[in-house]
A and B are shown apart, each in its own frame.
Chain A
Amino acid sequence: MEDISAIVLEQADRLFQQYVNKNILAEADHGKWPAPLWAALEDAGLPLALVPEAAGGVGLEAGVAANLIRRAAFYSVPLPLAETMIANRLWVDAGGDAMDGATTLAPVNPQDRLTVTPTAGGVVLHGTAHHVPWGGQASTALVFARDASGKGFLCRVLPAQVRAKRMRRNVAYEPRGDMEFDGVQLPASGVRPAPDYLDADGLMAFGAAIRAQQMIGGMERCMDYALTYANERVQFGRPIGKFQAVQHMLAVAAGHFAAASATADTLFESERLGDDEFAVAIAKSRCGEAAGLVAAVCHQVHGAMGFTQEHPLHFATRRLWAWRDEWGAESYWQERIGRTICAAGGDGFWPLVADRRSATGSLKSTTAE
């Protein structure tokens, strides 16, 4: 198993290096879908990375899949690869077959609630999901919705069925579409009871788990750029990395990066990255806080050069700024952790954090929900 994992990661890294360059990224910034790159990812089987081998997938363990997501993020791969990996796993777990093409996930915002009502031949969907990744470009959207009794369903929606009400770009200039599902009819084959593990929280923890791993990859890239630049850029007769002020900034950033990595690594231990929502909440909020700080330090080190399109730093930093907000910003997850801890009381704090094995009950909601 370890051999296969190493091969998949190495092969993916080669693909990313080969296909992702400044031109591809600049074109993606202007809305162009990098079709050859997606085709290469499909040829390598990466969209099925998390699908068990028995169901025709690669069957990567969560930790390996997370590293794959980190590597893609390191190169700023401008595609919904991670969303597709997770969507295929969820759909297969729900009893469906792996889906063709790029698949996105909806909803993304905590306050967007989608519903299904049964009809003669299937269901009809209601509600709008905002800021759906590649909402207008993905081949499929895997949508989480609840029926009147609160039971969760996964719905496979084809884009032709939906109007992307409004396409916008996040600050990474990646497409995020508002998708209006009102009245979308799905046949029985397009809707399945959601796996039990989605009961409490829908897709939130899974989306947040993806973004946490991506922030690790993105931060690593930023730190790479900054350390290289600090050792090359000469001012006052020496590389700026020799100045204590610059060293200390980068040391602080390295501390945040290490702390964020420690929380994101925790998700390797759950089967599908997003299963342990308490751990996801910790990781998403810690990574989000680190991402802002690391991006700021790395820009500061690069001076004016980092604020241009000449230098590729912005492809990484703009993604960090977008990812930390998506699927719940820090405050959203922090509030939920805080409410969970307060409900357990002072004596409950330590067992909640230290003995995850003995922790029970799910993460509390925010008051806004």
Chain B
Amino acid sequence: MRAFRFEPLTLPPEADAMRRKVRAFLDDERTHRRYAAHRTSWSTFDPEFSRRAAVAGFIGMTWPRKYGGGEYSNLERFVVTEEMLVAGAPGGAHWIADRQSGPQILKHGSERAREVILPRIAAGECYFGIGMSEPDSGSDLAAVRTKAEKCENGWVINGAKIWTSNAHRVHYLIVLARTEPLGQDRHAGLSQFIVDTASEGIEIRPILNLVGGHEFNEVFFRNCFVPDDMMIGKPGEGWTRVTGELAFERAGPDRFMSDIRLLIELIDKVGRAPNERQAIEIGRFAAHFAALRRMSSSIAGLLERGESPITEAALVKDVGTAFEREIPEIVRKLLPVESSLDDDDEYSQALAHVLLHAPSFTIRGGTPEILRGMIARGLGLR
């Protein structure tokens, strides 16, 4: 078979040094109870945390210094990401900008976009949302109907996006829009734009999620102007840009560590002498986790070498989110605790928090149904 290779990665000494540095930062955060780890995760929006993380140098780590970056390697960034996840750090404000929007702008954006935006992201003051999905275009991303038409000095956008996390509190969205009419090649004629959420012609309506939280939005564009230098790449490159962006989005440790805090809290709650069933399930989780960590770090190594392992990234996300989804389902059977967001018991809150967020794990960033199609193509079945 065409096996998917996950070459082992040996982290360099500077990554170990970075690990110590970020652990010291996070220990300090938790010692001073600046966030409540039992109910936070990488999707928790907390601008104050983001600013503190930026001051400590943990945002825009790999970018050039002239754009506010730290010129660290992808592997040092990888270590920081996983330590943030283990600590349940609330990085939701800067997460998207740091993970994918910033790198996208650095690689394919105009010089002005880099100069204006990247230093603010790296300072923890500028946040991004993803403008991909539309009311009639979810998994079938190429079906987007939002249009951008050329005008003097720029483009005029009309259309609607949906499931836009944090649109009401981020500064920019990266919007995928059709710049040429739909033709034979569905992937042609798409382009990506950096859209300032304060622009005229944008209306943002909240959509509450099942936890009662306001993350999702519907975003309407009515003759919304975007200057030429806020296009990412060239007209028509949108599909290539968006799939490249997804390789960054899919293989990171945030795809199997969203609820790792719950596993850690379970271990504490179970105590030093677990019963047989508890020990077996915790051991099984550890084995699955170790496998995922190795695969994900291997992809970090490939990204560091400049490769774009799109199918491998899809596979890690599929296996990783299946693992995340399974955690609350098994954990709830290991201790007689009823989950409740309102309970005084932090463990009960943590379980409720994860249970209620878990359905999103296998939706955001591409569903297993889409990912498995990509894997099947990699296996030579399509």
Interface residues of A (CB under 8 A from B): 220, 223-224, 227, 230-231, 241-242, 244, 246-248, 250-252, 254-263, 265-266, 268-269, 281-282, 285-286, 289, 330-331, 333-339, 341-343, 345-347, 349-350, 352-354, 366-367
Contact = CB atoms under 8 A, between A and B. Distances in A.
Interface stretch (B96-104, B119-127, B278-286): B278-286
7 contacts: A241-B381, A247-B382, A248-B373, A259-B319, A262-B295, A265-B294, A349-B263
A268 B381 contact: no
B8 A255 contact: no
A349 B264 contact: yes
Interface string B213-248: 000000000000000000000000000000000000
A42 B263 CA distance: 49
Interface of A is mostly: helix
A272 to B, nearest CB: 18
A261 B315 CA distance: 13
Given A231-B380, A244-B373, A268-B8, A342 B282 contact: yes
Contacts of A230: 381
A285 B379 contact: no
B287 A345 contact: no
Contacts of A367: 276
A227 B6 contact: no
A115 B175 CA distance: 71
A254 B1 CA distance: 10
B363 interface: no
Given A227-B381, A251-B318, A335 B279 contact: yes
B289 interface: yes
Interface size class of B (residues with CB under 8 A): 35 or more
A286 B4 contact: no
B284 A261 contact: no
B381 A338 contact: no
Given A247-B372, A341-B267, A265 B290 contact: no
Contacts of A268: 8
Interface of B is mostly: helix
B151 interface: no
Contacts of B288: 259, 286
A227 B380 contact: yes
Interface string B303-322: 00000000000010011001
Contacts of B272: 342-343, 345
Given A265-B294, A335-B279, A341-B282, 17 more contacts: A223-B1, A227-B1, A227-B379, A247-B381, A250-B376, A250-B381, A282-B286, A334-B279, A335-B276, A337-B283, A338-B284, A341-B286, A342-B271, A346-B265, A350-B264, A353-B293, A367-B276
A346 B264 contact: yes
Given A258-B6, A268-B8, A342-B270, A333 B283 contact: yes
B283 A341 contact: yes
Contact of B293 (A252, A258, A338, A354): A354
B210 interface: no
Contact of A345 (B268, B319, B376): B268
Contacts of A262: 6, 290-292, 294-295, 298
Contact of B376 (A248, A266, A346, A347): A248
B82 interface: yes
A362 to B, nearest CB: 15
Contact of B287 (A258, A337, A347, A349): A337
B284 A334 contact: yes
A246 B294 CA distance: 28
Contact of A338 (B268, B281, B369, B372): B281
Given A227-B380, A248-B372, A342-B279, A254 B315 contact: yes
B130 interface: no
Given A227-B381, A247-B381, A338 B279 contact: yes
Closest 9 CB pairs of A and B: A338-B279, A334-B283, A337-B283, A338-B283, A247-B376, A346-B268, A251-B372, A251-B375, A259-B291
A335 B4 contact: no
Nearest to B275: A367
Contacts of A282: 286-287, 290-291
B330 to A, nearest CB: 12
B273 interface: yes
Nearest to A266: B294
Contacts of B279: 334-339, 342, 366
Contacts of B264: 346-347, 349-350
B86 A350 contact: yes
Contacts of B276: 335, 366-367
A334 B287 contact: yes
Contacts of B382: 242, 247
Contacts of A244: 373
Contacts of B318: 251-252, 255
B106 to A, nearest CB: 28
B165 to A, nearest CB: 26
B267 A258 contact: no
Interface in B333-382: 369, 371-373, 375-376, 378-382
Given A251-B318, A265-B294, A353 B286 contact: yes
Given A337-B283, A338-B279, A353 B372 contact: no
Contact of A285 (B86, B287, B372, B375): B287
A220 B287 contact: no
Contact of B379 (A250, A281, A330, A347): A250
A21 to B, nearest CB: 21
